[in-house]
Amino acid sequence: MAYKRQIDRLPIIPADAKEHNVVCHYCIVGCGYKAYTWDIDKQGTTDPAGNKFNVDLSQQQGADTEAWYAPAMYNIVKQDGKDVHIVIKPDVKCVVNSGLGSIRGARMAEMSYSAVRNTEQQRLTDPMVWRYGQMQPTSWDDALDLVARVTAAVIADQGEDALFVSAYDHGGAGGGYENTWGTGKLYFGSMKIKNIRIHNRPAYNSEVHATRDMGVGELNNCYEDAELADTIVVVGANSLETQTNYFLNHWIPNLRGISQDKKQQLLPNEPHEPARVIIVDPRRTVTINACEIEAGKDRVMHLAINSGTDLALFNAWLTYIADKGWVDKAFIDASTKDFDKAIAGNKTSLEEAARITGLTVDQIRQSAEWMAQPKEGGARRRSMFAYEKGLIWGNDNYRTNGALVNVALATGNIGRPGGGCVRLGGHQEGYARPSDAHVGRPAAYVDQLLISGQGGVHHIWGCDHYKTTLNALQFKQAYKRRTDLVKDAMSAVPWGDRPAMVAAITDAIKKGGLFSVDVDIIPTQIGQAAHVWLPAATSGEMNLTSMNGERRMRLTERYMDPPGSAMPDCLIAARLANNLERVFREMGKTEIADRFKGFDWKTEEDAFMDGYHQHEKGGQFVTYARLRAMGTNGFQEPAVGIEGQGATAQGTTTGQTPGMVVQGPAIEGARGKEPVQQATPTTATPPPAPPAGSEPIIGTQRLYADGKFNTKDGKAIFMETKWRGFEASGKEEESKKFAFLINNGRANHIWQSAYLDQENDFVMDRFPFPFIEMNPQDMAALNLKSGDLVEVYNDNGSTQAMAYPTDRAKPKQTFMLFGYPTGVQGNVVSAGVNEFIIPNYKQTWGNIRKLADAPEVVKGLSFKEKEYAPPV
């Protein structure tokens, strides 16, 4: 039976409720919300004067009303130590989502920690340590002292390379500028940690190296471009499910033709039609269905390629478009180089591409026409290219990324309205760290090093390898073995004898053990192996800044207390630095101790001012006060000035001398820094930014509008991207050996690895186990009924899922929910990576067999088609 809350009325927000700016802390779209809080003993009334909306709430409200909120948008939380009512609801005034809320973001209130309403009771409230054979609470001082002593001892003995770190690099929850700076300053400033990896991949690298190497930062357009494009080209993305309100609020108007007026107004000298859309994806998705409903099937092209063959398709597009003369020659001449080299090197005929991709010659030709054939009267066709994990976690990541950017550059579609070549993104962005240049390229394959016994201490910040890494089963086995050595050693020593404890731990490390410190908001699966848990605060429990997929930066204001003694990550990093300084000083290592100075932050705003404000491009214009005043719309990075004072030409710095921009592959491209350009130092100082000032910040709507790219000479570089089959080691053999493609990805109901959703009845009722979508014929052949538990297995490992029949799945091509707690798809993903250690999750093959009939929790679930169907 479907889960029902049996809530049939909610407290009314009173007219004088406090209002806080909130940006959804889940996906990159960053929808604007407002949090309303008010005293537990008060409530509003239905008469207009008695409620926040000034509306008669004794009446039924119509569609899209601002004056309604769902039970999931309500909770009771602590604010300054007191219970308050809270409603977190979508903000109609936010240009990103215009009041739309997704099934994920609109549950933010319900996913908050509430002792009163028993929500998210999994949240960590105290530091926890391995004591007497289980995790036990302790004080911050005690926990940090142990972490600092063990970390310092290992560094003193083996050097910094023995400290392994896993740390998010993104914005939103478990990230943001404050927290990436806090962790970054610790590991890249005070130390030069090389063995570090990012939350969703086993190395410290960019997911989109290629586009950055070409001089094209990956978040270069704005959401309005989806309203202006003639054609939207989507590669490996399912945006209705994964960037929901970007799709609904900005793509659909163009597909329905209702952005026509805007097109005429902004781009008056060319003909306009409703958009066409081309979607490259091996499987049919709900996104394709929605596009067909709105634009009509004749304006939607689904290119269901053989998995992993995108590169051949893009090279064929480039070749055909160049042959037809549909390239933007003026732009290519003025703003790019190596076009001829790419044309020669990537030459791929329609026939050749058809053979590799499994598409027809006509499909490839027609799609090229849709994206590049000049419009009536000869106007250039405006095409927006958007890609995400199907490409990023796909075969030959680097070249495939480059091949798509080639097409966008050739057709003159970067930096112009209705264009862009962008990743669609996962989390928001929020990267501010000192240079990571010492990490090198390719970066260390951290997971493999851990498996092979390297490293003595592992600090984990908001990552759960157990659910979200490749080769996960092998990783878990090795990690458990190594951390168990330390656990057993710790259990043999009294907790109160600190010198003996540190000695026992370091001794176990020398025998192959690993000391694991997990900073997170909940006990994660990798946390089961950890020796120390440090409780973190999340978005809304702290002030937090991030930017969305069009570089829109906002401040989420603190609207509630963190659980127990949980702290923002930036302050945990600071306190860890303080403790390391103290311990190194005690050890007589003054020089090392001194490197941990500069962490005297008291608040997250201190970290922001130390980090983003001082070190990021345009950061000098950005303060909490200004962001607060700009609400949920914020500004688009980079900031270039302050309203009333005009844009400032002053080059900004992240380096030690004015005008110097620190290099680093991690995120510069995203924000449009010029990582290899030295801006001319000027003597003019930028206008001072008084922290109290609340003048609006002037931002940047599109990057590269001036045709200047992120390279030394400002020219974008075309890339040679030859097709070379399945590139990652072992994939070709795996594809031949096993019967089913185990394609994988996200689902609408769930955010990320379900770290909060796993405690949400609404979500867990829907998906008690990860689904694996299968063709009904395949299910029949395996004697499977809907909801039966199946085992997915190959030479890498095995995992489980519940069978979900759908005609959308081609025979022998399945799609499994990724990163789910009750069945980890990563268990069956091989260790194979590309030359820059980017994982290849998507090209995975395995066999499937039945484990059991649908368990009790699965009975009664809906296993119907997920696609919307018109009335019949």
Partner 1 sequence: MKRCDLLVDLGRRRFLSGAGVAAAGVAASAVLPANETKAAVPTARVTYPSTRLGNVNELKLNEPLDVAYPDDDASGVLIKLGKRVEGGAGPEGDIVGFTTICPHKGYPLHYNSERRTLNCSGHYSVFDCEAGGQETWGHATQNLPQYSLRVDEKGDIYAEGVDELIYGRLSNVL
Rounded distance between C-alpha atoms, residue 401 and residue 836, angstroms: 13
Q: Which two tokens stand for residue 34?
A: 């407002």
The residue behind tokens 């928001």 is 428
Q: How far is the CB of 4 from partner 1 (least distance, A)?
A: 4
Of 23, 24, 128, 248, the one binding partner 1 (CB under 8 A) is 248
Q: How far is the CB of 259 from partner 1 (least distance, A)?
A: 9
Residue 264 makes contact with partner 1 by CB under 8 A? no
Judged by CB under 8 A, which stretch of 189-197, 392-400, 516-524, 860-868 contacts partner 1?
860-868
Nearer of residues 5 and 597 to partner 1, judged by Cβ: 5
Of 86, 153, 237, 240, the one binding partner 1 (CB under 8 A) is 240
Helices (H), 657-730: 668-671
Q: How far is the CB of 694 from partner 1 (least distance, A)?
A: 25
Residue 68 makes contact with partner 1 by CB under 8 A? yes
| Strand-pair category, 789-794 with 845-852 | antiparallel
Q: Which two tokens stand for residue 46?
A: 């239905």
Pair 183, 517: CB distance under 8 Å: no
Pair 532, 139: CB distance under 8 Å: no
Nearer of residues 16 and 761 to partner 1, judged by Cβ: 761
C-alpha 582: how far from chain center: 35
Of 26, 28, 37, 101, the one binding partner 1 (CB under 8 A) is 101
Burial class (CB in 10 A: 0-12, 13-18, 19+), 342: buried
Rounded distance between C-alpha atoms, residue 872 and residue 686, angstroms: 64
Q: State the virtual CA torsion across 131, 132, 136, 137 in degrees, nearest 10.
A: -60
Of 41, 49, 62, 376, the one binding partner 1 (CB under 8 A) is 62
Of 73, 332, 583, 639, the one binding partner 1 (CB under 8 A) is 73
**Binding letters toward partner 1, positions 751-770, x by CB under 8 A:** -----------x--xx----
Q: How far is the CB of 703 from partner 1 (least distance, A)?
A: 27
Mind giving me the DSSP string for 294-360?
HH-GGGEEEE-PPTT-HHHHHHHHHHHHHHHT-S-HHHHHHHEE-HHHHHHHT---HHHHHHHHS--
Pair 749, 757: CB distance under 8 Å: yes
Element (H, E) at 641: strand 641-642
E strands, 708-844, in order: 716-717, 740-745, 771-774, 789-794, 797-805, 813-817
Rounded distance between C-alpha atoms, residue 216 and residue 37, angstroms: 43
Residue 5 makes contact with partner 1 by CB under 8 A? yes
Q: Which two tokens stand for residue 70?
A: 């769902």
Judged by CB under 8 A, which stretch of 112-120, 416-424, 499-507, 858-866 contacts partner 1?
858-866
Judged by CB under 8 A, which stretch of 102-110, 463-471, 494-502, 836-844 contacts partner 1?
102-110
Sheet holding 646-647, edge to edge: 646-647, 641-642, 697-698
**What number of chain residues touch partner 1 (CB under 8 A)?**
69
Rounded distance between C-alpha atoms, residue 449 and residue 432, angstroms: 26
Residue 736 makes contact with partner 1 by CB under 8 A? no
Residue 1 makes contact with partner 1 by CB under 8 A? yes
Nearer of residues 52 and 708 to partner 1, judged by Cβ: 52
**Binding letters toward partner 1, positions 392-431, x by CB under 8 A:** ----------------------------------------
Nearer of residues 69 and 755 to partner 1, judged by Cβ: 69
Nearer of residues 43 and 822 to partner 1, judged by Cβ: 43
Nearer of residues 438 and 864 to partner 1, judged by Cβ: 864
Residue 865 makes contact with partner 1 by CB under 8 A? yes
Judged by CB under 8 A, which stretch of 51-59, 195-203, 499-507, 529-537 contacts partner 1?
51-59
Residue 243 makes contact with partner 1 by CB under 8 A? no
Q: What are phi and psi of 38, to 5 degrees?
A: -155, 160
Which one-letter amino acid corresponds to residue 532?
A: V
Nearer of residues 588 and 871 to partner 1, judged by Cβ: 871
Of 14, 15, 39, 66, the one binding partner 1 (CB under 8 A) is 66
CA-based nearest residue to 637, from 601, 590, 672: 672
Nearer of residues 99 and 425 to partner 1, judged by Cβ: 99
Residue 748 makes contact with partner 1 by CB under 8 A? yes
Residue 852 makes contact with partner 1 by CB under 8 A? no
Interface with partner 1 (CB under 8 A): 1-10, 12, 45-47, 56-66, 68-73, 92-93, 98-103, 106-107, 110, 240, 244, 248, 253, 256, 258, 286, 289-290, 293, 748-749, 762, 765-766, 860-862, 864-872
